[in-house]
């Protein structure tokens, strides 16, 4: 299950040149994608990058303007009905009937799949038990918490085990505990053999879950690989320093950039500066320069770039340094 | 929380059942519509309050002036208010559709291997239930106030069958609006600003003979008028086949034109 170009691997999803424009905006602009069976594959990108549109095309909800795709061997444009029979999709917004109870929602969907009344109820109860929703089964979905919503939504996608499960931003809007719960659920599903294609704007989510990551921005795929490959492509070592006094931010940034000949990235929440440092020697030089200028540090570490840094390097950096996206 | 141990058997034991028929899909959506009445009974309040108010106001405030006595007026007005109720209530399925589309629910339905029109069939089942419930309540109030259907029990049964057919035809207008407009309240506003003139400029409340010529011309061709005439005929006795056929023209045309349009809009989304 390593490289997507390895021969003999059958792909759960294989797309070529998928394109969709809304007016003048090319939401998805010629994306190729190969998702091997049984893998958790993440599509990473900021808001508006085209992730959801890409997902909706693959799930037969939006017609592509151009391009082709096969899902579990079924052609997207010529046989969407067969595609629908082998996928399940959990969208960004809970696709549940808020007025009905959790159990009624699952029974409704099981009946639509063709289960007879009794089998449908049995399937609903199995799913409710596995997702720890038995106690809430008879309550209207509008009373559920965010985490319960999401669990029921995922359960609703598993009435019949899908060949590919599409999860569009599965943890957006969840609190950290519920988020952990959904992560464990996704891993357990993958362990049970379900191919999962998920979109996320959270780098740590892609890093934690996915065996492969495709980074997309402005409708184009700008990189693809394992999280290790993406990090390696950005640069070997990164120096992270935490300033004691945020007032010295500008001074420290100027010094680091002068010594290391690279650009500094500042953490969103505060005074952590990260910059590429080719070797430990160069990093030491930079730290000495900070000491000499009386910039006080509370912490420093040397390590691999975080996916954040990879992402910013890919989306904001010069195009020629982007790792090859063809595979 | 969830272990692989717990999920794996869940995923491996289930086999996909044989594909269900289109009818089965449609019935399941009908079941959903029926469940809505169980869980959101307050929607019935919205449904019948306006027609009850209209019945009482028009009968007791205007009835004497319009028809000589409240009893005579009610005899003319009740079949008309049933038509009005069905026409107004057809707005609700459009609002429901707009609500469903605004959330992700229809995305799930659309990603299932089911008959594409079955969710709409479900809306129609909901509509029929609404029309029958609201119609029964209005008729009961009418009976209490002294309305007497001269055609008897079967006249009323046929009248209700016609009512459901009328509602079915009108329903398409608002399903199309529901597909085009994402805010349920806008669907309602547009719906009512279109329906109010159509319902008032008809023979439901007033004898058109008292209206100016240009308006009478409109009232005569207004489909709501022919629906009302047919309802009066069925409930009061003496409906002609011509009247019945005329009342069904608009619903039939709406269905033939708007059902394919609905499917087109739905697929295009």
Q: Which pLDDT score is estimated for A76?
A: 93
Q: Give me B256's structure tokens.
A: 């033939």
Taking an 8 Å cut-off on Cβ atoms, the answer to whether B1 and A185 are in contact is yes
Residue B104 has its nearest CB partner, among A91, A111, A161, at A91
The answer to whether residue B9 sits within a structural domain is no
Q: Which pLDDT score is estimated for A7?
A: 44
Where helices occur in chain B by DSSP H, the ranges are 4-12, 22-39, 42-57, 63-67, 70-102, 105-110, 118-145, 152-180, 184-200, 213-221, 223-236, 241-268
Q: What distance in Å separates residue B245's CA from the closest CA in chain A?
A: 37
Q: What distance in Å separates residue B21's CA from the closest CA in chain A?
A: 8
Q: Which residues contact B37 (CB under 8 A, 6 or more apart)?
A: B43, B44, B129, B133
pLDDT in tens, chain B (269 residues): 445 566 777 777 677 889 899 989 999 999 998 898 889 888 878 788 888 898 898 899 988 888 888 888 999 999 999 999 999 888 887 888 888 887 778 888 888 999 888 888 888 888 888 899 899 999 999 999 999 999 899 999 999 999 999 999 999 999 999 888 888 889 889 888 988 899 999 999 888 888 999 999 999 999 999 999 999 999 998 888 999 999 999 999 999 999 899 988 887 76
CATH annotation of A237-303: 3.30.70.100
Whether A298 contacts A244, CB under 8 Å: yes
Distance CA A32, CA A105 (A): 35
Taking an 8 Å cut-off on Cβ atoms, the answer to whether A161 and B14 are in contact is yes
Task: Tokens 């349009």: give the residue.
Answer: B261
Q: Which pLDDT score is estimated for A153?
A: 92
The answer to whether residue B12 sits within a structural domain is no
Residues of chain A neighbouring B108 (CB-CB closer than 8 A) = 89, 91, 95-96, 109, 156
Q: Which pLDDT score is estimated for B4?
A: 59
Taking an 8 Å cut-off on Cβ atoms, the answer to whether B8 and A94 are in contact is no
Domain count, chain B: 1
Least CA distance to A194: which residue of chain B? Answer: B11
pLDDT at A306 over 60: yes
Tens-place pLDDT, residues A219-259: 999 889 998 888 777 666 788 888 888 888 888 889 888 88
Closest CA to A323 of A214, A237, A242, A219: A214
Least CA distance to A116: which residue of chain B? Answer: B17
Closest CA to B206 of B82, B81, B51, B50: B81
Whether B77 contacts B130, CB under 8 Å: no
pLDDT at A323 over 80: no
CB of B17 less than 8 A from some CB of A? yes
Closest CA to A176 of A144, A218, A204: A204
Phi, psi values for residue A198, rounded to 5°? -125, 150
**What superfamily would CATH give domain A11-226?**
P-loop containing nucleotide triphosphate hydrolases (3.40.50.300)
Helix (DSSP H) and strand (DSSP E) numbers for chain A: 11, 14
The answer to whether residue B10 sits within a structural domain is no
Given pLDDT bands bounded at 50, 70 and 90, which one contains residue A2? Answer: very low
Q: Which pLDDT score is estimated for A9?
A: 57
Whether B111 contacts A89, CB under 8 Å: yes
Enclosing domain of residue B155: 23-32+41-268
Number of residues that this document lists for chain A: 327
The answer to whether residue B248 sits within a structural domain is yes
Taking an 8 Å cut-off on Cβ atoms, the answer to whether A95 and B107 are in contact is yes
Domain with CATH 3.40.50.300 in chain A: 11-226
| Cut 0.90: pTM above it | no
Which three-class secondary structure state does DSSP give residue B206?
coil
Percentage of the residues of chain A whose pLDDT score is greater than 70 = 91
Taking chain A, what is the end-to-end CA distance rounded to the nearest angstrom? 14
Distance CA B7, CA A113 (A): 20
Taking an 8 Å cut-off on Cβ atoms, the answer to whether A115 and B1 are in contact is no
């Amino acid at each position: 299950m390593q490289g997507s170009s390895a021969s003999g691997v059958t792909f759960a999803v294989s797309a070529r040149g998928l394109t969709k424009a809304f007016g003048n905006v090319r939401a998805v602009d010629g994306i190729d994608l190969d998702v091997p069976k049984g893998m958790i594959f993440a599509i990473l990108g900021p808001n508006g990058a085209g992730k959801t549109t890409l997902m909706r095309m693959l799930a037969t909800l939006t017609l592509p303007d151009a391009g082709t795709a096969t899902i579990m061997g079924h052609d997207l444009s010529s046989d969407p009905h067969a595609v629908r029979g082998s996928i399940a999709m959990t969208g960004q917004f809970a696709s549940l009937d808020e007025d009905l109870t959790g159990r009624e929602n699952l029974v409704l969907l099981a009946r639509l799949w063709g289960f007879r009344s009794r089998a449908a109820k049995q399937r609903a109860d199995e799913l409710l038990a596995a997702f720890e929703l038995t106690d809430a089964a008879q309550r209207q979905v509008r009373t559920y918490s965010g985490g319960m919503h999401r669990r029921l939504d995922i359960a609703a996608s598993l009435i019949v085990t899908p060949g590919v499960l599409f999860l569009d931003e599965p943890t957006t809007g969840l609190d950290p505990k519920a988020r952990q719960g959904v992560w464990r659920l996704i891993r357990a599903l993958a362990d049970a053999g379900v191919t999962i294609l998920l979109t996320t704007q959270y780098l740590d989510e892609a890093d934690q879950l996915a065996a492969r990551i495709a980074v997309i921005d402005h409708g184009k795929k700008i990189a693809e690989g394992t999280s290790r490959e993406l990090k390696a492509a950005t640069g070997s070592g990164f120096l992270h320093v935490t300033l004691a006094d945020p007032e010295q931010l500008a001074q420290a940034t100027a010094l680091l950039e002068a010594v290391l000949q690279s650009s500094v990235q500042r953490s969103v929440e505060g005074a952590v500066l990260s910059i590429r440092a080719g070797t430990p020697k160069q990093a030491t030089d930079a730290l000495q320069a900070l000491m000499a200028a009386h910039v006080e540090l509370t912490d420093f570490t040397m390590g691999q770039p975080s996916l954040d840094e990879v992402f910013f390097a890919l989306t904001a950096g010069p195009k020629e340094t982007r790792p090859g996206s063809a595979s | 929380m969830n272990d692989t141990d717990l999920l794996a058997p869940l995923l491996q034991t289930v086999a996909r059942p044989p594909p269900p028929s289109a009818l089965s899909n449609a019935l399941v959506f009908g079941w959903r519509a029926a469940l809505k009445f169980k869980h959101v009974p307050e929607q019935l309040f919205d449904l019948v309050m306006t027609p009850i108010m209209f019945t009482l106001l028009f009968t007791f405030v205007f009835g004497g002036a319009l028809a000589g006595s409240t009893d005579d007026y009610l005899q003319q007005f009740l079949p008309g208010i049933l038509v009005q109720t069905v026409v107004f209530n057809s707005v609700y399925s459009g609002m429901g559709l707009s609500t469903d589309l605004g959330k992700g629910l229809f995305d799930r339905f659309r990603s299932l291997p089911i008959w594409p029109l079955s969710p709409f069939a479900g809306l129609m089942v909901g509509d029929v239930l609404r029309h029958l419930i609201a119609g029964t309540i209005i008729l009961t109030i009418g009976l209490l106030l002294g309305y007497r259907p001269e055609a008897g029990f079967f006249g009323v049964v046929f009248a209700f069958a016609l009512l459901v057919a009328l509602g079915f035809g009108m329903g398409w207008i608002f399903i199309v609006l529901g597909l085009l407009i994402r805010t349920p309240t806008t669907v309602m506003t547009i719906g009512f600003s279109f329906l109010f003139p159509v319902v008032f400029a008809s023979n439901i409340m007033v004898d058109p003979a008292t209206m100016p010529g240009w308006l009478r011309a409109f009232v005569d061709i207004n489909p709501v008028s022919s629906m009302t005439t047919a309802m009066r005929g069925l409930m009061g006795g003496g409906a002609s086949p011509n009247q019945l056929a005329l009342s069904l023209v608009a619903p039939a045309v709406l269905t033939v034109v708007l059902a394919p349009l609905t499917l087109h809009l739905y697929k295009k989304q």
